[in-house]
Amino acid sequence: MYIIPEVKSYTPCDKFVIDGCNFTFIENIDERVKILAKKVTVGDTNVEVKVEENGSDAYKLTLSKEKIVLTAQSQAAAYYGIQTIRQIIKNGYCDACEIDDAPDFKNRGIYFDITRGRIPTLETLKELVDNIAYAKANMLQLYVEHVFEFKEYDGIYQRTGYITAEEIKELDRYCKENFIDFVPSLSCFGHLYELLSTEKYKHLCELIDYKDTSHYWHERMPHHTINPSDPESIEIIKSLIDQYAPLFSSKYFNICCDETFDLGRGRNEGKDKARLYVDFVKKIIAHVKTHGKIAMMWGDIIDQHSDLIGEIDEDTVFLNWNYSAEPYTKMIYNCANKGKTQFVCPGITNWSGLIEFTQVSVPNISKMAKCGYECGAEGLLTTCWGDHGHLSPYYACLHGLVFGAEKGWNVNSNNDEFGKKLDLHYFGYEGATDLYNKIARSHLDRYWYHLLAHYCADNYKDTCMKTGFKPSPDDLTECFNLCESTIPYLMASKWENEKARKALLCVANGVELMIAMTMSYVCGEKFGVNLEDAENWLKEFKEEYLSESKMGELVETIRVFYALAQKFLA
């Protein structure tokens, strides 16, 4: 049977058909468990559900043709057990068996960027919750800089798009209904481009009189750290937290504080960067505590000053990340050796492209999960970033998001069977994951990032997006042919999940275009692709984009892409 996540212990016997269930609940069952049970097809198989309440997420299923017994160690575990029953029915048959199952990580989260261009609708975010809950994830975080109705960002969020307070509260309610902890995540130190670019607050920027040297999609990434020495800075951060924290029921608050690249390079030149960093972080954490919340923070900067990590409040959760196929894990071991609470945070490598690179994300998530488990990490948080306009549709990130949930539950699950499970439970088409992987391989590298670098070089005197990307014509031809081979199948096949099929078709067409544009600046060839093809794809992309997201920065994406198409395809 194909179950996501792969169960820990499974003892099969005789097969029998199960096409629906009739539930009986033994005392004190959470209403949320009963709501999920109503999603299971009604049938002749009787299911008895009982909860023993010892706080664990473990559950046991005893299945026979006559009866299924679900014994759970908590209400959440009962919910997970019913998700497994739903998946068993999806398989179309069942083994008379016993399943003993429990997660490897207490916290199994998804981190989703809604700041850098694409802002999902509330409907799409609820669909994300449904999909990760089906894979037994229990945490969600949305990355936010300026895309909320903060008073400090008035005039900015209206331009870039935003999520509302009412949407946050409704999503918080929906997450709780699905045993998911919805954790606020807010940039509080670095990555404050939109705030620190304004006339009102630019005096708080670490860099003095900084002028953009590249497109603002890239400027958001390396620059615009707030000046921790100015007393006004902490007051601004406190205000942002005060407006945001009360909307969430979670006990956590992610203050981010990552990639403060500019610290000590401007207004604080010559000062102790470690001291500046740690003292400001301590102030932020102290304020988060006034809201009754435990701070989370990315671990990349504090790892550089590990001798001061003991000064950070002991209940702070460190989020240690790395995104390569052979991930750097020293920071995970350092955190464990110092007795600090941590999550390991792999990535799905979708950023700056149209689809995740499964050839990188699969080994990255697998190895980070195993390292975190060995080091006693309390959670696994799989990240989906949106650098440079967030071109990748939600369904071009789904593989990594679900794979991360799987590894959060079972670090030793069989990677070779994952695609078959994804086909059955999420795409509804046998062979869908193979097509997904072909498109990912044809992406070769983030074409969008490198094309954007050329755009910046033409529009700015200097650019911090210099790139030595120069693939060979043979590599590009191979990638073009690989991508092109997926398109007839995506056009003709019938998927149960039509949204996913259309999204991946849009991605395949877009990757083809980007390869052709890249080929043009490598050796002048265009694979027979012209400007009209780009115009048609932009219409397709706009339709796909607006089917799942708000307008966000779609207009800018179309403007830049069309300018590049004119340059390389006209």
In this structure, the answer to whether residues 365 and 220 fall within a common structural domain is yes
Cβ neighbourhood burial of 251 (10 Å; 0-12, 13-18, 19+): exposed
**Segment 247-304, tens digit of pLDDT:** 999 999 999 999 999 999 999 999 999 999 999 999 999 999 999 999 999 999 999 9
Do 241 and 291 sit in the same domain of this protein?
yes
Q: For the residues 227-236, what does the mean pLDDT come to?
A: 98
Looking at residue 479, what is its pLDDT? 95
The SS3 of residue 298 is strand
Q: Nearest to residue 105, comparing CAs of 151, 145, 136?
A: 136
Boundary-marking domain end, from 347, 379, 413: 413
- Is 418 part of a structural domain of the chain? no
559 and 488 within one domain: yes
Which of 211-225, 349-363, 366-380, 413-427 is the least confident region? Answer: 211-225
Q: Is the pLDDT of residue 92 over 90?
A: no
Torsion of CA 88, 502, 36, 133, to 10 degrees: 90
Give residue 460's pLDDT: 64
Quote the CA–CA distance of 171 and 184 in Å, as a whole number: 12
In a domain, 18, yes or no: yes
Interval 135-160: pLDDT, tens: 999 999 999 999 999 999 999 999 99
Domain match, 228 and 269 both: yes
Q: Of 70, 101, 132, which residue constitutes the final position of a domain?
A: 101
State the average pLDDT over residues 396-406.
98
> For the segment 492-504, what is each residue's pLDDT rounded down to a tens digit?
999 999 999 999 9
CA-CA distance, 434 to 367, in Å (whole number)?
22
Answer yes or no: are the C-beta atoms of 152 and 239 closer than 8 Å: yes
In this structure, are 42 and 152 located in the same domain? no
What is the pLDDT, as a whole number, of residue 466?
A: 66
Query: 5 with 135: CB under 8 angstroms?
Result: yes
Tell me the two tokens of residue 193.
């481009």
Query: Position 196: which residue type?
Result: L
Tell me if 3 is assigned to some domain: no
Q: What is the largest CA-CA distance in the chain?
A: 75
Residue 463 shares a structural domain with residue 382 = no
Are the C-beta atoms of 497 and 540 separated by less than 8 Å? no
User: 514 and 382, same structural domain?
Assistant: no
Q: What is the pLDDT of residues 302-316, one digit of tens each?
A: 999 999 999 999 999
Residue 523 lies in a domain: yes
- The residue whose two tokens read 């439970």 is 425
Residue 386 belongs to a domain: yes
Tokens representing residue 224 in the block: 């615009």
Encode pLDDT of 30-78 as tens digits.
999 999 999 998 888 999 999 998 889 999 999 987 899 999 999 999 9
Residues 125 and 153 in one domain: yes
- Do 270 and 191 belong together in one domain? yes
What are the b/e assignments for 32-47, b being 16+ CB within 10 Å? Answer: bbeebbeebeeeebeb
**Torsion angle, alpha carbons of 36, 105, 6, 298, to 10:** 90
Distance, CA of 412 to CA of 164 (rounded, Å): 40
Tokens 């575990």, residue located = 77
Structural domain for 132, as ranges: 107-413
Question: Which of 101, 130, 147 finishes a domain?
Answer: 101
420 falls within a domain: no
Contacts 24+ apart (CB under 8 A), 42-46: 43/18, 43/19, 44/19, 44/20, 45/18, 45/20, 45/21, 46/21, 46/22
Nearest to 446 by CA among 352, 357, 558, 349: 352
Q: Are 376 and 267 in a shared domain?
A: yes
What pLDDT digit, counting tens, does each position of 444-474 carry?
Answer: 777 998 899 888 877 765 555 666 777 889 9
Domain count, the chain: 3
| Residue 293 covered by a domain | yes
In angstroms, rounded to a whole number, what is the distance separating the alpha carbons of residues 326 and 368? 9
DSSP, residue by residue, 95-142: ESEEEEE--SSSEEEEEEE-SSS--B-HHHHHHHHHHHHHTT--EEEE
Return the CATH number at 303.
3.20.20.80
What pLDDT, on the 0 to 100 scale, is given for residue 468? 73
Q: Which of 358, 384, 301, 424 is nearest to 109 (CA)?
A: 384
Find the CATH number of the domain harbouring 86.
3.30.379.10
Which tokens is 392 given?
């990748």
In a domain, 184, yes or no: yes
46 and 82 part of one domain: yes
Q: Is pLDDT of 384 > 90?
A: yes
Name the nearest CA neighbour of 59 among 17, 95, 5: 5
Helix (H, G, I), strand (E, B) or coil at 24: strand
Compute the mean pLDDT over every residue in the chain, rounded to the nearest whole number. Answer: 95
Beta-strand relationship, 97-101 and 107-113? unpaired
Q: Is the pLDDT of residue 115 over 60?
A: yes
pLDDT tens, position by position, 404-423: 999 999 999 999 999 999 99
Same domain, 560 and 446: yes
Residue 237 has pLDDT above 60, yes or no: yes
